[in-house]
Amino acid sequence: MKHLDQIKRAIFLAAALLMAGSSQAQTLLIPVPLAPPPAAGSISATPAAPVPEPERWTKEDLTHDEQYSTAKKETQAAFHQAKAECQLLTVSEQSNCLTQAKNEMDKEMTAINRRFGIPD
């Protein structure tokens, strides 16, 4: 968990630096050329129709199997994200980070299986 906290702090620091950099960029007195305006024929007169959301975003999980599948997918997605964050660490820290991420996923899957009545 210590490494994940370090990753979170690093991401927060990077975001803060980016925000500070963007506010400073606005105060510079260096002229920045703008892109030329679009040609008159390339602008459409009617607004684009909104893209409908996929059904999987709006459809509630009703059955026991659907709920289990969603919980399992969310846990696996969190593990995948943790693995990607571990890759940002030094080589010596990666092994411990990956072990922690795997242990956390195993613990969550055990809790999910217990909640849905699936034996270990």
pLDDT of 34-72, one tens digit each? 777 777 666 666 667 777 777 767 778 888 898 999 999
What pLDDT, on a 0 to 100 scale, did the predictor assign at position 62? Answer: 84
What pLDDT, on a 0 to 100 scale, did the predictor assign at position 99? Answer: 95
DSSP 8-class letter at 63: S
What pLDDT, on a 0 to 100 scale, did the predictor assign at position 75? Answer: 94
> How many whole angstroms separate alpha carbon 92 and alpha carbon 89?
8
Structure tokens at 10: 């690093």
Per-residue burial over 40-76, b = 16 or more CB atoms within 10 Å of its CB, e = otherwise: eeeeeeeeeeeeeeeeeeeeeeeeeeeebeebeeebe
Structure tokens at 45: 């007169």
